[in-house]
Amino acid sequence: MLTLAIAVLGVVLLLVLLASYDEASVGRDWEAILTPGGLRAYEDLKDRFDREKAAIDFSYAKAEAARDDGDVQEAGRLLAVGYDYLALVAPDRETLLDGLKLYSRMCAAIVALPPLRPTAFRLPQLVTLAGLGVLGHHLLVTIPDRFRLRLELLRRGLGIALVVLLRGTHRERGGRLDPDWARVLAARTDFHTISEETIESFGALVSALVRQPATAAALHRVH
């Protein structure tokens, strides 16, 4: 009876796995990896993150200036604009982190990256998350597993920073908008730290993919 059950489970699992195999998607991913596009993508991503950082800082600097001038309403409005922009770019970053996790399974060896440092963050939640990450980093054995843990922490950290920004920006007291400036600015700084760590992870993955024998041969052929 047990043999039958194991066999049925095997059949079902095999059929599910065969059905979930998406040849077109796999093909697209390998096409992206086995071309020099990876290196260009790294430079493009760095440029884009720099532009977004400048836009975010501009909005928050204006909000701080308005607060210092005593214009609380304008400061609150500018903070909300800054948050809206962050909320706009955040899904892209989540997608990027998910994509990195997927690509990390396809390359042979990834550069060993250090764990996220708790001292690099300001929000207590992110300090705790990074601290747990350090623990997990030492418990995991392989570099790709550590890399995926790092990406997962960055993804969760991104979500936490956004929630803190949302709550801090839209905090009301006595029916009036009263942003929690300390937490908002800490969350913004942490958002930038997460961006920098994301770029570093992306760079490690790109260099791993470029060092992959198949990729190296493809690059050599193209250049």
Partner 1 sequence: MTGSQVLVANLSAALMAAAAAGLLARRRARLCWSFLAYLLAMILGNQLAAWLPETFHSHWFWTAKMSVYGALRSLIALEIALLTFSALPRARLRAELVLALVLAVSAGVGMLATASVGYPYLAMLGLVAPRGSAASLWLFVAVLAVALWHRAPIHPFHRSLLLAFTLYLGTATGLLGLVGLAASSRPAYLAAYAYLEALDPLAFAVTAGFWTWAAWRREPATALSPAVASRLQPWAAACSR
Binding site for partner 1 (CB under 8 A): 1, 3-4, 6-8, 10-11, 13-15, 17-18, 20-21, 23-24, 26-31, 34, 102, 105-109, 144, 213-214, 217-218, 221
Amino acid letter for position 120: A
Token pair 């001292």: residue: 119
Task: For the beta carbon of residue 119, count every other beta carbon within 10 angstroms.
Answer: 9
Distance of closest approach, residue 8 Cβ to partner 1, in angstroms? 7
Q: Are 218 and 37 in contact (CB under 8 A)?
A: no
Nearer to partner 1, 194 or 208 (CB): 208
Phi, psi of 141, deg, nearest 5: -95, -45
Nearer to partner 1, 3 or 119 (CB): 3
Nearer to partner 1, 173 or 221 (CB): 221
Distance of closest approach, residue 108 Cβ to partner 1, in angstroms? 5
Nearer to partner 1, 177 or 218 (CB): 218
The DSSP call for residue 142 is S
Q: For 69-142, where are the alpha helices, taking DSSP H only?
A: 72-104, 124-139
Distance of closest approach, residue 16 Cβ to partner 1, in angstroms? 10
Phi, psi of 172, deg, nearest 5: -120, 145
Distance of closest approach, residue 33 Cβ to partner 1, in angstroms? 9
